[in-house]
């Protein structure tokens, strides 16, 4: 039996599947043992962006694999001095990807909006609390993770809920990433408040939005995409793992109705 067959058989066992489910649900960082290998493969596969894709692997969070690479690429592709807004940062896994790409480009800012208090929808809160328990504050861990990844100077922190932060926001946005509260009502309110700031031609990215996904209090993003992210307002919608990427149509007004 080849090594591949052994690994495939192992992955089919209940023990592995339970471990894998918990690993994903709790946003575990990659195991230390695998890091030297992924460092090489990330570099070979993603070029310079691989450095930040690899650094984000050490941060607990939920942006992994192909969607991590695509998010970094979306940030990298933006014009000079790009304005990126992330709603929901937790410990900085996706912020490292967004800000790493802007570091490589040498300009732009990533605005991270999160109350850093482990609040959110009923499905997520017990998970956030378990990850938070006993350690330093989420805010200080977030900042440490950004420092360690070498991207702190590309990030501006807004320690508020998305619904509050928007009240003082006025800048047109190049890339808007939704990954905060996941309940339908809050996702829709947040979308209505923030999406008018996305520039025509700008990129919308919505995490946890696989079509048909249903989980009480946690399926707001999937329902948002099903209901609103389509032509003529959005073009080129594409699902990568669980993030939907779409381009706001050039003819859509920057401040028109969502
Ligand atoms: C799913 S986590 C973000 C994960 C992160 N983007 C990553 O890649 O790992 C959601 C974060 O949004 C925060 N949050 C909850 N409600 C929010 C709100 N109304 N506005 C902004 N952030 C919120 C949560 O406390 C949590 O830190």
- CA-nearest residue, atom 14 of ligand 1: 180
Tell me whether residue 124 is in a domain. Answer: yes
Rounded Cα distance between 111 and 51, Å, is 21
Model confidence at 6, pLDDT cuts 50, 70, 90, reads confident
Q: Are 78 and 84 in contact (CB under 8 A)?
A: yes
pLDDT of residue 252 exceeding 90:
no
Q: Are 86 and 75 in contact (CB under 8 A)?
A: no
Q: Are 74 and 175 in contact (CB under 8 A)?
A: yes
Query: 176 - beta bridge partners?
Result: 85, 204
Average pLDDT across the chain, whole number: 93
Helices (H) and strands (E) in the chain, counts: 11, 7
CA 65 to centroid of ligand 1, rounded, Å:
19
Q: Which of 70, 94, 114 best tests ligand 1's pocket when mutated (most atoms within 8 Å of CB)?
A: 114
Tell me whether residue 136 is in a domain. Answer: yes
Residue written as token pair 């006025």: 170
Ligand 1 atom showing the smallest separation from residue 88 Cα? 12
113 CB less than 6 Å from ligand 1?
A: yes
Tell me whether residue 25 is in a domain. Answer: no
121 CB less than 6 Å from ligand 1?
A: no
Give the mean pLDDT of 220-247.
Answer: 96
DSSP state of 28: P
Tell me whether residue 23 is in a domain. Answer: no
Strands 198-206 and 155-158: unpaired
Ligand 1 atom showing the smallest separation from residue 180 Cα? 12
Model confidence at 253, pLDDT cuts 50, 70, 90, reads low
Digit-coded pLDDT (tens) for 99-158: 999 999 999 999 999 999 999 999 999 999 999 998 899 999 999 999 999 999 999 999
DSSP state of 150: T
Rounded Cα distance between 253 and 258, Å, is 9
Number of domains in the chain: 1
Q: Are 207 and 62 in contact (CB under 8 A)?
A: yes
Tell me whether residue 63 is in a domain. Answer: yes
Report helix, strand and coil shares of the chain as percent, to nearest 5.
50, 15, 35
Ligand 1 atom showing the smallest separation from residue 124 Cα? 1
Give the mean pLDDT of 76-97.
Answer: 98
CA 86 to centroid of ligand 1, rounded, Å:
9
pLDDT of residue 255 exceeding 70:
no
Ligand 1 atom showing the smallest separation from residue 87 Cα? 21
CA 156 to centroid of ligand 1, rounded, Å:
16
Tell me whether residue 80 is in a domain. Answer: yes
Q: Are 73 and 64 in contact (CB under 8 A)?
A: no
Tell me whether residue 233 is in a domain. Answer: yes
Give the mean pLDDT of 37-53.
Answer: 95
Rounded Cα distance between 136 and 142, Å, is 10
Rounded Cα distance between 115 and 119, Å, is 8
Q: Are 110 and 86 in contact (CB under 8 A)?
A: yes
Residue written as token pair 């919308």: 204
Tell me whether residue 187 is in a domain. Answer: yes
> What is the pLDDT, as a whole number, of residue 257?
45
Tokens encoding 35: 């890091």
Q: Are 237 and 206 in contact (CB under 8 A)?
A: no
Q: Which domain holds residue 160?
A: 52-248
CA 114 to centroid of ligand 1, rounded, Å:
6
Predicted TM-score (pTM) of the model is 0.92
CA 116 to centroid of ligand 1, rounded, Å:
8
Radius of gyration of the chain (CA): 18
Task: Return the CATH number at 147.
Answer: 3.40.50.150
CA 179 to centroid of ligand 1, rounded, Å:
6
What are the backbone dihedrals phi and psi of residue 146, each rounded to the nearest 5 degrees, phi first?
A: -65, -40
């Amino acid at each position: 039996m080849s090594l591949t067959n052994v690994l495939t058989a192992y992955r089919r066992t209940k023990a592995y599947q339970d471990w894998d489910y918990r690993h994903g649900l709790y946003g575990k960082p990659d195991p230390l043992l695998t890091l030297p290998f992924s460092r090489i493969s990330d570099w070979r596969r993603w070029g310079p962006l691989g450095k930040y894709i690899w650094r984000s692997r050490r941060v607990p969070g939920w942006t992994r694999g192909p969607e991590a690479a695509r998010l970094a690429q979306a940030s990298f592709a933006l014009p000079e001095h790009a304005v990126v807004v992330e709603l929901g940062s937790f410990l900085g896994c996706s912020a490292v990807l967004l800000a790493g790409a802007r570091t490589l480009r040498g300009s732009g800012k990533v605005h991270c909006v999160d109350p850093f208090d482990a609040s959110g929808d009923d499905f997520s809160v017990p998970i956030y609390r378990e990850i938070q328990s006993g350690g330093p504050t989420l805010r200080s861990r977030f900042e440490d993770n950004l420092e360690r990844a070498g991207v702190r100077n590309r990030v501006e922190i807004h320690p508020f809920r998305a619904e509050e932060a928007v009240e003082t926001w006025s800048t047109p946005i190049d890339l808007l990433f939704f990954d905060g509260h996941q309940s339908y009502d809050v996702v829709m309110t947040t979308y209505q408040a923030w999406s008018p700031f996305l520039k025509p031609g700008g990129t919308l990215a919505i995490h946890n939005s696989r079509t048909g996904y249903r989980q009480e209090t946690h399926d707001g993003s999937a329902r948002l995409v099903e209901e609103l992210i389509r032509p003529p307002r959005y073009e080129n919608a594409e699902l990568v793992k669980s993030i939907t990427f779409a381009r706001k149509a050039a003819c859509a007004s920057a401040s028109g109705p969502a």
